[in-house]
């Protein structure tokens, strides 16, 4: 089959998994297709792994432990830098492919692939400086406790489709430089980027068996990774329901879960409304709202409600929905049919309970696929609506109104999620009061809910996750503490 890529004719690629140092098919010979949400074309065909394939990858990773541990920390840091260097000249090519595979606008794809470089190199630097304490004995005054960190062993990494380049760049290389061997399972909507990423690791010289890539359904590949007793550490980034399924079978292994969000943005009556509108639009429409820390809900003080809503609608009218490969496109298609159906379900539920669509609200016509969704502003949202209670994950700005600080806090905290939130106010005391009361892993003051950097802790509370990642915390997630107890006595 022929497809058009970057204006040229190209065969549909038949890609492989990477197990024990070789590019392989599934033992079953079964495959699955990856279709572009932007064009509807089949981009590639990949192996559909079986449990047997996953077990083979886990065994290879176990065997390869000695190979990664044979490398000193400076040698592992060098590997990380080599991967980053190899990727650097090819950012544009990968960005275009990412846009075709995931659907996000080319400017966002470029930023995502560019971000791979600092993610890897910052963590390599963090590893150089990873500190652990030395403690003096208290109950045992002649003892000194030397605390160190050791790798976990075999680590399983399961990632979602919303950031197909950033996810492995945040976790896969980091697990390896910590001295683990990895079995990596990307989302089945976006495995092409994962193959490209792993190709760089292989090229850079990551030893045989230390990186294994297994593609296929979460219920098979992901579940086996979670369940298998030879896997010592597991990191899943995905939906809360998936996290619950993984936690049920994971048994006694170190599990880090980075799950869904339902980020509230609170706009007080003294807020800078222009800035709040800009941040709301960014958080709602970036990556078509398919971001764990998207602005999922906007809580606006009744005194500034009308002004805020008017300005947000005007701002939303300027969001250009279109071909994601065009430079001036702000909003591309959503990634897949189930996620669009979820958005439709939430909007329908809200409207049936009295919410009002002020702009957008439906799939857009005239595009190559049915995954293009209009940027949407929906007002009169109330706490009982699905759009407030659950993660919507679409280009939607739902507006709720409040009249007191207590009410805003109650609405914001009234969902099972707790990832990121934002408060807009000019009053320092109000800002810090909200910062203390909001039950989210991070609270942004006068900025978008969608805010993230390389080196601060990323924590989901309540049903948004278990454990921390980001900067040195990622390295901590992939290592365990060990204490050497030293007796110092007069010789
Ligand atoms: P998902 O949970 O459907 O899939 C995530 C990964 O888990 C995929 O690789 C999938 O194949 C696999 N999987 C699915 N079912 C599984 C099972 N039963 N056992 C093991 N693995 C299984 O999530 P998604 O739709 O790909 O991604 C969107 C979700 O990810 C959103 O909820 C978003 O908020 C969340 N997310 C969270 C963060 C964070 O840092 N907290 C970052 C990005 C995305």
Which stretches within 129-257 are classed as H helix? 166-177, 191-204, 223-227, 240-249
Collect all residues with Cβ–Cβ distance below 8 Å to 408 and sequence separation of at least 6.
266, 299, 301, 402, 434
Span from the CA of 192 to the centroid of ligand 1 (angstroms):
17
pLDDT over threshold 50, residue 1: no
Question: With contact defined as beta carbons under 8 Å apart, do 38 and 368 qualify?
Answer: yes
Residue with tokens 């683990």: 180
The pLDDT of 435-439, averaged and rounded, is 98
Q: Known catalytic residues?
A: 258, 292
Span from the CA of 258 to the centroid of ligand 1 (angstroms):
9
> Token pair for residue 481?
């503490």
- Please compute, for residue 379, the number of CA atoms within 13 A of its CA located in the half-sphere on the CB side: 14
Query: What's the pTM value of the predicted model, to 2 decimals?
Result: 0.97
Interaxial angle between packed helices 166-177 and 191-204, expressed in degrees from 0 to 180 and rounded to the nearest 10:
40
pLDDT digits (tens, 9 = 90+) for 24-34: 999 999 999 99
pLDDT of residue 7: 59
Q: Which of 22, 97, 31, 125 is nearest to 474 (CA)?
A: 125
Ligand 1 binding pocket mutation candidate from 239, 291, 453 (most atoms within 8 A of CB): 239
Span from the CA of 312 to the centroid of ligand 1 (angstroms):
30
Task: Provide the mean pLDDT of the chain.
Answer: 97
The pairing of strands 134-136 and 42-47 is unpaired
Question: With contact defined as beta carbons under 8 Å apart, do 159 and 237 qualify?
Answer: yes
Is residue 419 in contact with ligand 1, taking CB distance under 6 Å? Answer: yes
pLDDT digits (tens, 9 = 90+) for 331-366: 999 999 999 999 999 999 999 999 999 999 999 999
Question: pLDDT confidence of 12, banded at 50, 70, 90?
Answer: confident
Is residue 223 in contact with ligand 1, taking CB distance under 6 Å? Answer: yes
Is residue 430 in contact with ligand 1, taking CB distance under 6 Å? Answer: no
Question: pLDDT confidence of 8, banded at 50, 70, 90?
Answer: low
pLDDT of residue 5: 54
Is residue 296 in contact with ligand 1, taking CB distance under 6 Å? Answer: no
pLDDT over threshold 70, residue 3: no
**471: alpha, beta or left? (left if phi > 0; alpha if psi -120 to 50):** left
When computed from its CA atoms, the radius of gyration of the chain, rounded to whole angstroms, is 23
The pLDDT of 137-157, averaged and rounded, is 97
**Beta-bridge partner residues of 266:** 299, 423
pLDDT of residue 394: 98
The pLDDT of 167-186, averaged and rounded, is 98
pLDDT digits (tens, 9 = 90+) for 70-97: 999 999 999 999 999 999 999 999 999 9
Span from the CA of 226 to the centroid of ligand 1 (angstroms):
13
Shortest-distance Cα residue to atom 1 of ligand 1: 238
CB neighbours of residue 168 within 10 Å: 29
The pLDDT of 416-433, averaged and rounded, is 98
Q: Which of 254, 302, 281 is nearest to 149 (CA)?
A: 254
Q: Which atom of ligand 1 is nearest to the CA of 241?
A: 2
- Please compute, for residue 67, the number of CA atoms within 13 A of its CA located in the half-sphere on the CB side: 18
């Amino acid at each position: 089959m022929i497809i058009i890529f970057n204006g040229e004719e190209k065969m549909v690629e038949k890609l492989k998994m990477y197990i024990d140092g070789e590019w392989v098919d599934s033992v079953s010979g079964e495959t699955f297709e990856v279709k572009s949400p932007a064009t509807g074309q089949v981009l590639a065909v990949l192996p559909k792994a079986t449990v047997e394939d996953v077990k083979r990858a886990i065994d290879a990773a176990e065997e390869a432990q000695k190979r990664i541990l044979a490398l000193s920390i400076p040698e592992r840091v060098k590997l990380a830098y080599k991967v980053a260097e190899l990727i650097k000249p090819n950012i544009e090519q990968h960005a275009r492919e990412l846009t075709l595979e995931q659907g996000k606008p080319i400017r966002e794809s470029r930023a995502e692939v560019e971000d791979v470089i600092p993610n890897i190199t910052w963590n390599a630097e963090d590893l150089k400086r990873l500190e652990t304490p030395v403690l003096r004995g208290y109950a045992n005054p002649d003892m000194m406790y030397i605390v160190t960190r050791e790798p976990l062993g075999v680590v399983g990494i399961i990632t979602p489709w919303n950031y197909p380049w950033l996810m492995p760049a945040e976790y896969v290389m980091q697990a390896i430089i910590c001295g683990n061997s990895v079995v990596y399972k990307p989302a089945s909507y976006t495995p092409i980027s994962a193959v490209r990423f792993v190709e760089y690791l292989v090229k850079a010289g990551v030893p045989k068996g230390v990186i294994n890539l297994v593609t296929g359904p979460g219920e098979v590949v992901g579940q086996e990774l979670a369940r298998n007793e030879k896997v010592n550490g597991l990191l899943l980034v995905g939906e809360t329901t998936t996290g619950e399924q993984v936690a049920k079978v994971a048994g006694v292994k170190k599990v880090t879960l980075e799950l869904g969000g339902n980020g509230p943005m609170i706009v007080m009556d003294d807020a800078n409304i222009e800035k709040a509108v800009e941040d709301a639009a960014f958080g709602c429409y970036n990556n078509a709202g398919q971001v764990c820390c998207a602005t999922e809900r906007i809580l606006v003080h009744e005194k500034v409600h009308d002004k805020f809503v008017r300005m947000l609608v005007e701002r939303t009218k300027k969001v250009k929905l279109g071909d994601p490969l065009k430079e001036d496109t702000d909003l591309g298609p959503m990634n897949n049919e189930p996620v669009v159906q979820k958005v439709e379900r939430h909007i329908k539920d809200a409207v049936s309970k009295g919410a009002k669509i002020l702009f957008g609200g439906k799939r857009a016509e005239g595009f190559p696929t049915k995954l293009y969704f209009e940027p949407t502003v929906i007002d009169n949202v109330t706490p009982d609506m699905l759009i407030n209670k659950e993660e919507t994950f679409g280009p939607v700005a739902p507006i709720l109104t409040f009249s007191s600080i207590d009410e805003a806090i109650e609405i914001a905290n009234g969902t099972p999620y707790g990832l990121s939130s934002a408060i807009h106010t000019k009053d320092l005391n109000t800002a810090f009061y909200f910062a203390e009361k909001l039950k989210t892993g991070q609270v942004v003051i006068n900025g978008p809910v969608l805010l993230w950097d390389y080196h601060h802790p990323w924590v989901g509370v309540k049903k948004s996750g278990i454990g921390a990642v980001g900067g040195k915390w990622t390295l901590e997630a992939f290592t365990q503490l060990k204490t050497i107890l030293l007796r110092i006595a007069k010789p």
